[in-house]
Structure 1
Amino acid sequence: MKKQFLIYGLLIIGALLLSYYILTGMNTAKVNETATDLTTLVWADEFDVDGPINPEKWFLQTQLPPGGSWWGGLIQHYTDREENTFVKDGYLNLVAKKETYTDQGETKEYTGARLNSKFAFTRGKVEVRAKMPKGTGTWPAIWMLNTNIDEDGAYWDNKGYGKVKWPACGEIDILEHWGKNQDYVSSAVHTASSHGDTVENLGGRTVDNVSDDFHTYSLEWTKEKMIFEIDGVTHYEYNPTIKNKDTWPFNNNYYIILNIAIEPDIDPSFTESAMLVDYIRVYQ
């Protein structure tokens, strides 16, 4: 009988120890899942090699949407030419030009570039050091879209991922700058509940000399919230109380987009201006 009690006692102790280790492991996994140090570099482009952009990292999106113009009445063609996108002296140059250019049966008077990253990720920190173009009517942006966006001609849609229409797919604008509001930089989050011209999830601030000096624009994206900063100073935080498919479609892979668009109110004297990017780095 004593031997049986000893065996039962050892079994109970073993079960308790096993439960302890399981619970300890679960807590550790939970802590790691919500960790926000975001210091491990997982992807980057330092733009150190002169010439065309790295085709292993970037895709040049040129296909027009239905109707022959980009959304919002934009009046440029995006091209895959080196005249609009190239690396020189350690900087990516995205160049908007005034020129007559015909593509896909449509003739337009301005050209620009729209890059899709071939890297996509869920949660992390993005840092971009960049200088904005000049000119009323220029609209540069550094932003992100869900790989599941149904947009013909986009890199991930071409790969078969496109299933969800905008804005339900979700959009993260790390920065936008309008030449008609020089030096004001905006960040925004577009979702099914807040999007387009009436988007409510946005914030920004005026920054001195964004077209003459480089500044560092960043996004920190965790399970709980998104924090947008310029030179380490926060100007907007998105953290909806209720997180569902309408407010938080941000549990999927997103890719980075760089572009310069041209608005219809472009200054008639505009000829050419570039967004320069020193580096892009993604940490997790």
Structure 2
Amino acid sequence: MKQIFTLVLLVLLPFVVGCKDDSKKSEAVQSTASTWKTDFHDDFDTFDPDNWQDQRIWVNNENHCYVPDGELGTREVSDGTLKIRVVNIGEQRPCDNLDKHGNQHPDTEYVAGRICSKNRKEFVKGRWTARLKLSSNGEASMFPAWWLLGAQNNESPVQEEDENICWPLTGSGEIDIFEHHGDHMKDEFTTGAIVSLGECDKGDWESQRRNFPATLNEYHEYSVEWEKSDLVYRLDGKEVYRNEGEGDKYPEPMFAILNFAKITDSPMTGEWVMEVDWVRHESRN
């Protein structure tokens, strides 16, 4: 009888241990999850001016004009999502966008949307995530983006006294969570930090950014997280890239930007759309 009991115990022991291990794993997952709190979440049931404002500025030699208030369909909230568009209106029109030096954008037949959470929702470190997709990708001139800038950035709109630091110095640093460069890639996105070279308007765009595959016309979650001194980039919750030691270079509050740009003279017809399901920021407890 003792031998039978010993045999049964040996048979059941792995299952008992496995259950205990699973229980510990579950507790660990719950413990990890509990270290985050959501302090901003926008489901885009409406366009909330407490969260976002239009940002109308001429940068990167962009070929379009950013227009306000969703004019010409450039920014629309419908059916629970935000649509940011580039639209070819078929004829050139004046553009009042200015660059950081006060130069006015030339007349253009292209209009686009760009919104930011500047002076609305700004956070130090934590984790930023957006769930989004593109209507199409791989077309010349396409440049949709989901990214962050330091809250003391001195580019339009300047609304606070301390918004006097030029890109990409500390206080005006840049982190690109998602970019798609249609001119030279399809079904790939770019992610990573812009390294400040210590002077106004001088940044290293190459060393800390990489390209990764994704089905861009399907929804994915694109995120960046400060993990100790690193910046960790994830696609659908899975780490795809890490800027080791770069996180400490962004101690400032940062705001989020969603925009769709057209960056060369390549012709386009119709419209391009970036559709955003939600945006969220989380902080550690």
Do 1:128 and 1:281's aligned partners in 2 also have CA atoms closer than 8 Å?
A: yes
Mapped to 1, the partners of 2:93 and 2:240 lie a distance apart of: 38
Q: CA RMSD in A?
A: 2.2
Counterpart amino acid of residue 103 in structure 1 = C
Q: Return closer, same or farther for 1:38/1:263 CA change in 2, 3 Å cut-off.
A: farther
Aligned equivalent of 1:43 = 40
Mapped to 2, the partners of 1:229 and 1:274 lie a distance apart of: 23
Aligned equivalent of 1:72 = 60
Using the TM superposition, give the Cα deviation of residue 133 of structure 1 relative to its aligned residue in structure 2, in angstroms.
4.2
**CA deviation string 1:190-249 (max 9, x = no partner):** 132396564311123111x212x1111111124411100111222211122xx7xxx843
Q: Return closer, same or farther for 1:226/1:275 CA change in 2, 3 Å cut-off.
A: same
Aligned equivalent of 2:177 = 174
SS of 1:71 mapped into structure 2: coil
**CA deviation string 1:10-64 (max 9, x = no partner):** xxxxxxxxxxxxxxxxxxxxxxxxx996521100110123xxx2111111011x4
Aligned equivalent of 2:110 = 110
List aligned pairs for 1:20-99, cutoff 5 A: 38-49=35-46, 53-62=47-56, 64=57, 70-82=58-70, 83-99=73-89
Runs of 5+ unmatched residues, structure 2: 1-31, 97-103
SS of 2:107 mapped into structure 1: strand
Which of 213, 216, 220 is equivalent to 1:210?
Answer: 216
SS of 2:61 mapped into structure 1: coil
Q: Return closer, same or farther for 1:283/1:198 CA change in 2, 3 Å cut-off.
A: closer
Mapped to 2, the partners of 1:94 and 1:205 lie a distance apart of: 23
Do 1:78 and 1:113's aligned partners in 2 also have CA atoms closer than 8 Å?
A: yes
Aligned equivalent of 2:244 = 239
Mapped to 1, the partners of 2:35 and 2:231 lie a distance apart of: 13
Counterpart amino acid of residue 145 in structure 1 = L
Aligned equivalent of 2:25 = none
Aligned equivalent of 1:137 = 141
Counterpart amino acid of residue 230 in structure 1 = L
Which shifted more, 77-86 or 87-96? 77-86
Q: Return closer, same or farther for 1:140/1:42 CA change in 2, 3 Å cut-off.
A: same
Which shifted more, 105-114 or 253-262? 105-114
Q: Return closer, same or farther for 1:38/1:201 CA change in 2, 3 Å cut-off.
A: farther
Mapped to 1, the partners of 2:226 and 2:167 lie a distance apart of: 20
Counterpart amino acid of residue 88 in structure 1 = S
Mapped to 1, the partners of 2:76 and 2:40 lie a distance apart of: 20
Do 1:142 and 1:256's aligned partners in 2 also have CA atoms closer than 8 Å?
A: yes
SS of 2:163 mapped into structure 1: coil
Counterpart amino acid of residue 61 in structure 1 = Q
Aligned equivalent of 2:166 = 165
**CA deviation string 1:101-131 (max 9, x = no partner):** 3232642121111111120000111121100
The alignment status of 1:226 with 2:231, answered yes or no, reads yes
Do 1:38 and 1:125's aligned partners in 2 also have CA atoms closer than 8 Å?
A: no
Counterpart amino acid of residue 252 in structure 1 = E
The alignment status of 1:147 with 2:151, answered yes or no, reads yes
Identity, in percent, stands at 25
Q: Return closer, same or farther for 1:81/1:107 CA change in 2, 3 Å cut-off.
A: farther
SS of 2:121 mapped into structure 1: strand
Pairs aligned (count): 230
Mapped to 1, the partners of 2:121 and 2:129 lie a distance apart of: 15
The alignment status of 1:199 with 2:206, answered yes or no, reads yes
TM-score (norm 1): 0.75
